[in-house]
Amino acid sequence: MSIEMNRTAIVTGGSRGIGRAVVRRLAEQGYAVVVGYAGNADEAAAAVKEAEAAGAQAVAYRADVADETAVAGMFAEAESRFGGVDAVVNAAGRMTLARVEDIDLDEMDALHRTNIRGAFVVAREAARRVRPGGSITLFSTSVVGTAFPTYGAYAASKGAVEALTMVLAKEMRGRDVNVNTVAPGPTATELFLEGKSDELVTRLAKSNPLERLAEPRDIAEVAAFLATPAGHWVNGQVVRANGGMV
């Protein structure tokens, strides 16, 4: 049942993984959705069809989150097509795993361009355009706390996002817009599973008291809640959605 009427969401990274699950969940809640994607037009089109099947209006928009011109165009598309922007979920991200002594600095720069610059570009545009009563939701990772080896560059990039969260929430004073960050634990997405052995995946699944990996839907429920009136009083927080992993 729809709980939101005439409201619009932008979801970056919306063609796959957690972002795509967020698109579906917001569509189920009645949001019109702009599916932001970096390159895979077929997957983005499929995400649009899933949103439409849930009864929502949806459109795909190609935008590199680190490109301020492209991101501004995506917001302008949302305003032109659907009348405004009420929820922004920045689920776009990149992951590179390596020990600090082995990190390829070009790969690290590319990761930080997406995860840090991209988060700031999307947050900046959202801060300028989100309507009163709206929400801005960013993404981090629980690895910021667990500090697994080989995650140094990735965790550092997401630590920057966490540092931004409360600052932006305070800067939005008087606008009636909440700002939060969701920090998932191990989640069964293509990005997470790539290159991991079955043994490692099993060990990580057992690392929380619920003894399983999250499904993208589990994380989408948290992000979607923060975008609703029911979640509006949660503000300036980093929500570690990880099944109790420490």
Angle at 131 between CA 130 and CA 137, to 5 degrees: 40
The count of other CB atoms within 10 Å of the CB of residue 117 is 18
Check 37, 61, 151, 154 and give the catalytic one. Answer: 154
The reply to whether 154 belongs to the active site is yes
State the catalytic residues. Answer: 154
